[in-house]
Amino acid sequence: MPERHALIVDDHPTNRMIAGALLRKLGWQTQEAETGATALELAGQRDFQLVLLDISMPGLSGEETCQALRQRYGERPIRIIAYTAHAFPEERAAFLAAGFDDILVKPISRDRLEALVSDL
């Protein structure tokens, strides 16, 4: 099986740690970023198949970071999942419209995360 690389972007270390542990148990290689700007730097150094991206962060928002990642990756495949506590229907629709592929609501469960990444 080829290596699968995921980037976890969240300004809260505990959220990054939990998501990283779950993804590693599912066989992923993970890297972490505390800010959108750092996420963009890391995306310039490696191709990620998956990005878990917090919405509310200092500096670049999750939406801004998502749009910048989409530009950077162009036609290359990448799944960007909003990793957020915001789950109202109108918010979900706005995240999908902003370029996210799906939404993972905090606190995350292994089953939900596995379902979102099982085809990657």
Q: For residue 111, is it within any domain?
A: no
pLDDT computed for residue 88 by the predictor: 86
Q: For residue 116, is it within any domain?
A: no
Q: For residue 64, is it within any domain?
A: yes
Report pLDDT digits (tens) over 40-97: 999 999 999 999 999 999 999 999 999 999 999 988 889 999 999 877 888 889 999 9
Rounded to two decimals, the pTM is 0.95
Q: For residue 30, is it within any domain?
A: no
Q: For residue 63, is it within any domain?
A: yes
pLDDT computed for residue 21 by the predictor: 97
Whether the predicted pLDDT of 1 surpasses 80: no
Provide the residue range defining the domain that includes 10: 1-23+40-49+58-79+88-105
Report pLDDT digits (tens) over 100-115: 999 999 989 899 999 9
pLDDT computed for residue 75 by the predictor: 86
Q: For residue 28, is it within any domain?
A: no
Q: For residue 31, is it within any domain?
A: no
Count of domains observed in the chain:
1
Distant-in-sequence, close-in-space partners of 73: CB < 8 Å, separation ≥ 6: 43, 47
pLDDT computed for residue 53 by the predictor: 97
31 half-sphere exposure, CB direction, 13 A CA radius: 18
Q: For residue 72, is it within any domain?
A: yes
